[in-house]
Amino acid sequence: MARGGDWTDEENDLIVADYFAMLSEELSGRAYNKTEHRRQLKGRLQRTDGSIEFKHQNISAVLQCLGEAWINGYKPAFNFQMPLAEAVERWLSSGAVLPEHLSAGEKPNAGLADPAALFVGTAPTLRNEPPPEALQKMLGVARKFDAAERDERNRKLGRAGEELVLAREKAVLLAQGRSDLSRQIRWVSQEDGDGAGYDIASFYPDGRDRLIEVKTTNGWERTPFHISRNELAVADACRDSWCLFRLYDFRREPKAFELFPPLERHVELTATSFQASFR
């Protein structure tokens, strides 16, 4: 007989681990059978098909809150309880890894064979803002587990994002007949370190400077990201040349948009740390 009631931590851990097994297959481009996964889970959990399917949607919602990729076929459902979010966080913190998107310096997938083909759209607007109840849940989970901090610590993710943008800048200038400018582009964060307030020193086709700070996350376009006081200061001092190149959904299919100073016009800036000096 199928059981009801709240899911236990053991049940949450079991379905979360199976969900990530499917997600790993999907991100790697390998076929898998959702029905077979559900059948095996049903025997171990003693839950109904509908309950398992809906829990999968709940896990997708948690992953969206955390700025991570989720299974395409399980549309996020936000009426989940915090123990499920904790189970997802346990898996993400366990040392297990999901397949990473290949960086531009490795063999790219077919969609990024030409870096200039990277989709660069408009910044998020109210048209794609989640419903109020979903947004409230997303903000709560993001604050509790700090998805932006996880991506900020992921140096491999940041480097791969910068590498893709660097390749794109060179390709765009070459396509505009500016091979002279393409040769002069500098990967500043790699050559000089992180203190410049931008990662890439590029150019517009007319020769104007283009100072690019790259922010990369695996989540959707509204996933929070960290920006330093120095980066904000440089953005303000170099308003005519500085831009923030926001890469998102990087693990699956990178897309992007650009933000230009003043950033306060586009995002809400929240202080998340303070410098402590002795009196």
pLDDT digits (tens, 9 = 90+) for 151-200: 555 778 889 999 999 999 999 999 999 999 999 999 999 999 989 999 99
Q: What CATH number does domain 151-265 carry, 3.30.30, 2.60.40, 3.40.1350, 3.30.70?
A: 3.40.1350
Domain boundaries, the chain: 1-99, 151-265
Least confident of 11-25, 134-148, 152-166: 134-148
Residues 67 and 157 sit within 8 Å (Cβ to Cβ): no
Q: What is the pLDDT of residue 106?
A: 40
Give me the sign of the Cα torsion angle 218, 223, 226, 227: positive
Alpha carbon dihedral 90, 93, 95, 96, in 10-degree steps, equals 60
Residues 252 and 27 sit within 8 Å (Cβ to Cβ): yes
Q: What percent of the chain has pLDDT over 70?
A: 83
pLDDT digits (tens, 9 = 90+) for 214-226: 999 887 888 878 8
Cα separation, 277 vs 279, in Å, equals 6
Cα–Cα separations (whole angstroms), residue 179 to 5, 100, 116, 184: 65, 31, 14, 9
**CA proximity to 255, closest of 112, 152, 108:** 112
